[in-house]
Amino acid sequence: MSGATTRTRRWAVALAVATGVAGGLATFAVPAGATPPVPASGTLTWSVTPEGEQSTRSLGTVASAQRPERTSIEEFPTEPLDKPVNTVVAELDATVPGGTAAAVDVRGLRTDGTWSEWAEITADAAAVLPELTRSVQTRLVLTAPDGAGFPDVRQIDLTAWNAEEVQASAPAGERTYRVFATREGLVGGTTANGHVIKSRDHFVALPSRRGLANRGSGNYTVQVCTSDDARCEWAPVWDVGPWNTKDDYWNADRQMWHDLPQGKPQAQAAYQDGYNGGRDGFGRRVANPAGIDLADGTFWDGLGLRDNAWVNVTYEWTGSGAWGTIATSSTPLNVRSGPRSSAAQVGLAARHAQVRIECQVTGQSVSGTQGTSDLWYRLAPGKFVARAYVDTAVAPAAC
């Protein structure tokens, strides 16, 4: 089949099967022995067409993971659907040279206005969303070695339906884990979502793109605190790393390393326990147990760290309840120990961060981007931000 490109048949889950020859064409087909999924109820179909020029895409190098490859992430507009769905498959019309890869991720809009994690469509399984949704977004992720061209994806056809046997998974509450944090640095580099890293920047990297936020968005945000919770920063996830790129250790159904306990990064297990021969998923000797990378501003200014350290990380999108988006004009928002500007600064909330709100109290009146208000939101015990700088999506109850 070298020299020709074929399309998958209906219901087939798309996966590039490389010819193994550099620069050769890829054939898209159902793997031998695989059974294409069959919808349990009516289907909805739509197509997306990638941009023709790579320069229009979000180009990155997965800066935190320090891989000798380039990443192209293209996000498509949200598709409004006539019926609720929870299962999605895809077909690709594409040419994928050997050594490169093309992947399709989807996510669904939840009833509270937040997004589910990105789920990759694979050759063996459809992407299953955690709850029924009428809004699905698709993104195309291309990778290629330095110096090589990206795959040429001409069209993506998607099919979605309600698999009635799939039960909605109610959020079990925000997940918090103690992990080792390192400083990313890499000023001037490009993150996995295409953000160019600035001096004293405010974002984090996690070792999986399932929680990778859109560029300029905080739809996946973490609350990262010092080990004693004295200082915290709420920061968006804009990069993939450190070490691994498919280690969503905060999930029970993690993509890889299924025998590790939930909440333990693979790099930590490799460093402390000799797991996987002490190497990461790319075969590199693991030199530290890091499960999160912090941009310089988050590291120095938000948490006040001077060296790599153990921190407490809460993955905000895994929770439920009231939430809003930090809407400062440029700089991070001060987090105070009480509902007034004179209270001690105990952390920062980065611009664009999407934060869960525990409750609200009345305090000092403040004027900001969202008007004038005497309400203050408690994001965590002893951690308050002024309502005047929060674009509130779901309002909280009183404390």
Per-residue pLDDT tens digits for 100-146 = 999 999 999 999 999 999 999 987 789 999 999 999 999 999 988 87
Residue 42: per-residue pLDDT: 77
**Which residues sit opposite 103 in a β-bridge?**
141
DSSP for 168-214, please give it: P------EEEEEEEEE---TT-B-TTSPBP-TT---EEESBGGGPPP
Residue 164: per-residue pLDDT: 78
Q: What is the pLDDT of residues 198-237, one digit of tens each?
A: 999 999 999 999 999 999 999 999 999 999 999 999 999 9
Burial of 383 (0-12, 13-18, 19+ CB in 10 A): buried
For residue 40 the two structure tokens come to 């349990």
Pairwise CA distance, residues 147 & 68, whole Å = 10
pLDDT tier at 31 (50, 70, 90 boundaries)?
Answer: very low
Residue 280: per-residue pLDDT: 96
pLDDT at 59 over 70: no
DSSP for 105-138, please give it: EEEEB-TTSPBPPPEEE-SS--EEEEEEEEEEEE
Residue 40: per-residue pLDDT: 54
Residue 124: per-residue pLDDT: 79
User: Any idea what DSSP says for residue 302?
Assistant: I
Tell how far CA 297 is from the center of its chain. 20
List of residues 6+ apart from 316 with CB closer than 8 A: 174, 220, 221, 222, 223, 234, 323, 354, 355, 356
Which residue, among 303, 329, 307, 325, has the nearest Cα to 377 in the 3D structure?
325
For residue 350 the two structure tokens come to 């980065």
> Which of these ranges, 21-30, 146-155, 390-399, has the smallest mean pLDDT?
21-30
Phi, psi of 206 (to 5 degrees): -120, 150
Pairwise CA distance, residues 345 & 225, whole Å = 14
Decide which of 28 and 260 is more confident: 260
Residue with tokens 């050759």: 123
Pairwise CA distance, residues 279 & 61, whole Å = 21
- What is the pLDDT of the chain when averaged over all its residues? 87
How do 175-183 and 290-294 pair as beta strands? parallel
Residue 248: per-residue pLDDT: 97
Phi, psi of 337 (to 5 degrees): -80, -10
Q: What is the pLDDT of residues 362-372, one digit of tens each?
A: 999 999 999 99
Mean pLDDT throughout 139-155?
89
Pairwise CA distance, residues 40 & 366, whole Å = 53
* Domains of the chain, start order: 16-161 (2.60.120), 175-318 (2.40.40.10), 323-394 (2.30.30)
pLDDT at 24 over 90: no
Pairwise CA distance, residues 183 & 223, whole Å = 16
Which residue, among 14, 259, 297, 313, has the nearest Cα to 138 in the 3D structure?
14
Which residue, among 255, 261, 262, has the nearest Cα to 281 in the 3D structure?
255
Tell how far CA 354 is from the center of its chain. 12
Decide which of 33 and 80 is more confident: 80
> Coil, strand, or helix at residue 33?
coil
pLDDT at 55 over 70: no
Phi, psi of 195 (to 5 degrees): -80, 135
Residue 234: per-residue pLDDT: 98
pLDDT at 23 over 50: no
Report the percent of the chain where pLDDT is more than 90: 74
Q: What is the pLDDT of residues 242-300, one digit of tens each?
A: 999 999 999 999 999 999 999 999 999 999 999 999 999 999 999 999 999 999 999 99
Mean pLDDT throughout 293-316?
98
> Which of these ranges, 31-35, 213-217, 253-257, 387-391, has the smallest mean pLDDT?
31-35
> Which of these ranges, 40-44, 190-194, 206-210, 355-359, has the smallest mean pLDDT?
40-44
Residue 69: per-residue pLDDT: 74
Which residue, among 249, 242, 238, has the nearest Cα to 284 in the 3D structure?
242
